[in-house]
Structure 1
Amino acid sequence: EVQSVIENRLYEVVGALHEQGFQSERFDRVEQFEKQIAIVPASGITGEGIPELLVLLTGLSQRFLGERLEISPDSPGRGTILEVKEERGLGTTIDVILFDGSLKKGDTIAIGGKRGTIFSTVRAILKPRALDEIRDPKFRFNHISEAFAASGIKIAAPKIDEALAGSQLYVVARGEEERVRREFEAEQEAVTVKSEEAGVVVKADTIGILEAMIKLLTESKIPIRIAAVGDVSKRDVVEAAAVKERDKTRAVVLAFNVSILPDAQARALDLGVNIIENKVIYKIIEDYEEWVKNLKNQEKKEELDGLVRPTKIRLIPDTVFRQNKPAVIGVEVQEGVLKPKIKLLNLEGENIGVVRGLQSKGESISSAGRGEEVAAAIDGPTIGRQVKEGETLLADVPESHAKLILKKYKGEITTGELAVLEELKDIKRKTNPLWGM
């Protein structure tokens, strides 16, 4: 079943690429890489397909981009931070792909940090033993004094606790600190979003993930107020709450693989700000869209519940419990929803009274729906004078409510309620021809 789903998805992609004029196929079925685009199925959850993707990229790069793949082994080292983590006996370390130049023990390095550029000195350079995976916590390291591109290494250095995964690493020559600092600031500003827009707040653990989330949100036409790397803070929650009055659907923090600080969690509860967390980017977007859908449905329900719905009742003969002040009589709800405080009128358009309360089996109730028979206390009429047993009454729907129902909630009410509203409209237009228009 899973293979069938993958095949179907694969050929959807093949078809979409074909429409754009590209020939494509699953990577292991490609016969001519010069003419066909190779598709590698991969899972963002299990990681399946990633090794094949990396091998394919490496092979294609060597084959078709050989002349452009150049490094300068004598130049200052440059790399990308893959991961920041604690290692027993070493303290905080960074896993780095050194993609250009060289790096020596004792070199000054600059890396991107949560609070700005971090300058430190390389205390140790470690490489995993042959055939070990750099992310495997059980491997043993080989200490080396110098590393050359391209290689995967682990670096131990002081003051790197707040280093950012995904940021660049530079070997810094003496006197170059300020220039490198400006480069890092420019890199951070390129992916950081700060605006006064009524948008969502986005926090991620790496620059690469942040860029991906910004791209996905932009493609989904979801506005962004703040996007930055780092844990969710109280300030982030306050920023999200600031847009609540303008657009409740944007008063949210989207957090990918980051911690929520305790004071931020407490503040979110106080201000009613939702924090959506997930370790799969697409799932965060899906969870957010589902939350927006539920929020809008809840708002619609609350608004509809606050409207006087088109309602028709019949006064049941021989069920008069009290003639007046208030009149208490059994009623059958033929259409709509009967509630206390609803004004009633007869089929001639004359005001009859106001529903004071409802009871069923001796218990007070807040509403009665179609088909229910309940006792209604009605302020205003005297049974036998202004209204008679067996008579039909309608809820006096305010004109503003009628317009809103027809404009926004026509699909939310029953055909019977719509018929009652048309009946009410005909009655009202005898004295006001423009009623409900």
Structure 2
Amino acid sequence: MYLSELECTVLEVKVIEGLGTTIDVVLSNGVLNEGDRIVICGLDGPIVTNVRALLTPQPMRELRVKSAYVHHKSIKAAMGVKISAPDLEKAIAGSRLMVVGPDDDEEELMDEIMSDLARLDDAIDKSGCGVWVQASTLGSLEALLEFLRTSKIPVSGINIGPVHKKDVTRASAMLERAKEYAVMLCFDVKVDKDAEDMANELGIKVFKADIIYHLFDAFTAHNAQVVEQKRKDQAALAIFPCIIKIGKGLVFNKSDPIVLGVDIVEGHLRVGTPICIVKTNSETKAREIVSLGKVTTIKINDKPVQIVRRGDANAGFTIAIQHASHESSKMYGRHFDDSDVLYSRITRSSIDVLKETFRADLTKDEWKLVAKLKSTLGVE
């Protein structure tokens, strides 16, 4: 049903030889006139300009085929129309077009036309971490942002239209903040050759697709690789929480390496974990952290393993502890005995690594143990 109230949507922004930058629009309702003052959404703010020409293709020809156009003084809906006007370079495909009437407040229309784009800003993660997203039209950008939101993929910045070097520059901020998000998801847009070269040089991944799910799959695969590499890089810095007890009479070598039969009281133990005990000075009551060294081997029934959890070895297991080169070696019977509790020597930096990279590797009880060890070992 035809309505007199104007309804018009920008489909595409094109440069046409002899006309300059034009916009192809669908006029769904109302009338457009040559000379009308129009307001459309722009990348750098609202665009207010006057219609220079209203054009339609010659009969029996498509709008996108280059040919002579028919000029109109006025066009009534419903029609596809090419509009020639000044200052259309930054126009956003998918946005509404509004006409400034005699009783309209131009400033109000400018605010209203930009509300569509302002709403998209709510999709940007407030922490500043996330992927860069670029799409061909306002509608496709909205669809992609909604998909990313439901997929719990944060977004740091957005743009509409072809990808240029300035977009790569803005996306490159993630290289320092969160490398796994140094990614550009480009939906149905062209990527400028210089921009692509710049992205490759900086180490920013650019994923292009015409189907949203393909972008998601590409990012998910990339993210899994980045996370796995990060885990490998930070594995040596991660110290997992553990409390172990020496078994009675299970001391097989008293010093360097110290070989003990032990049981896990809480947490889990990994090869490479630094081990310490806590001694209290009988006179000053001050606590002293005594480092014993790092676990170099773990054996269950004489078979080496990398990780052992409470309950994995019902009859207990043996560990070898080697002192670090910068520390003095410790001896069972002189520096500690089987009445001492052995702790994994967590640090502030190791806790940060666990939170950032290995959060899912710890159970709720093990996170409680981290808090307990912080207190026991005086970690700030």
**TM-based fold match above 0.5:** yes
The answer to whether the aligner puts 1:95 opposite 2:24 as a matched pair is yes
Q: CA deviation at 1:105?
A: 1.9
The Cα of 1:231 is off from its aligned counterpart by: 5.1
**Residue number in structure 1 paired with 2:126:** 196
Residue pair 1:217, 1:223 contacting (<8 A) in 2 also: yes
Taking the aligned partners of 2:159 and 2:121, their CA distance within structure 1 comes to 5
Whether the 8 Å CA contact 2:199–2:205 is kept in 1: the answer is no
Q: Which amino acid aligns with 1:228?
A: N
The equivalent residue for 1:172 is: 100
- 1:254-403 equivalences under 5 Å are 254-256=185-187, 257-259=189-191, 262=194, 266=198, 269-270=201-202, 272-304=203-235, 348=253, 350-351=255-256, 397-399=272-274
Q: How far off is 1:229 after superposition?
A: 2.7
Find the aligned partners of 2:192 and 2:294 in 1 and give their Cα distance: 46
Of the three residues 158, 163, 188, the one matched with 1:227 is 158
Cα gap change, 1:351 to 1:84, in 2 (>3 Å): same
CA distance in 1, matches of 2:90, 2:105: 22
Correspondence for 1:366: none
Write the distance in 2 (CA, Å) between the matches of 1:87 and 1:163: 15
Instruction: Give the alignment's Cα RMSD to 1 decimal.
Output: 4.1
Aligned residues: 277
- TM-score w.r.t. the length of structure 2 is 0.59
- For residue 351 of structure 1, what is the amino acid of its counterpart? D
Counterpart of 1:81 in structure 2 is: 10
Give % identity: 31
Partner in structure 1 of residue 3 of structure 2: 71
Inter-CA distance 251–196: structure 2 relative to 1 (3 Å threshold) = farther
Deviations 1:376-418 (A, max 9, x none): xxxxxxxxxxxxxxxxxxxx84437989x99xxxxxxxx8534
Structure possessing the higher relative contact order (Cα contacts under 8 Å, 6 or more residues apart): 2
Name 1:65's counterpart in structure 2: none
Q: Does the alignment pair 1:417 with 2:305?
A: yes
Helix, strand or coil at the partner of 2:342 = coil
Poorly superposed stretches of 4+, deviation over 6 Å: 305-308, 400-403, 419-424
In 1, are the aligned partners of 2:168 and 2:195 still within 8 Å (CA)?
no
Q: Distance in 2 between matches of 1:427 and 1:268?
A: 47
Answer yes or no: is the 8 Å Cα contact 1:93–1:160 preserved in 2. yes
Residue number in structure 1 paired with 2:342 = 434
In structure 1, what is the Cα distance between the partners aligned to 2:215 and 2:308?
A: 44
User: Residue 38 of structure 2 contacts residue 48 of structure 2 at CA under 8 Å; is this kept in 1?
Assistant: yes
Change (3 A) 1:424 1:155: same
Identify the match of residue 134 of structure 1 among 38, 56, 63: 63
Q: Gaps (5+ residues) in structure 1?
A: 1-68, 309-346, 353-395, 407-414
- Aligned equivalent of 2:78: 150
Deviations 1:3-54 (A, max 9, x none): xxxxxxxxxxxxxxxxxxxxxxxxxxxxxxxxxxxxxxxxxxxxxxxxxxxx
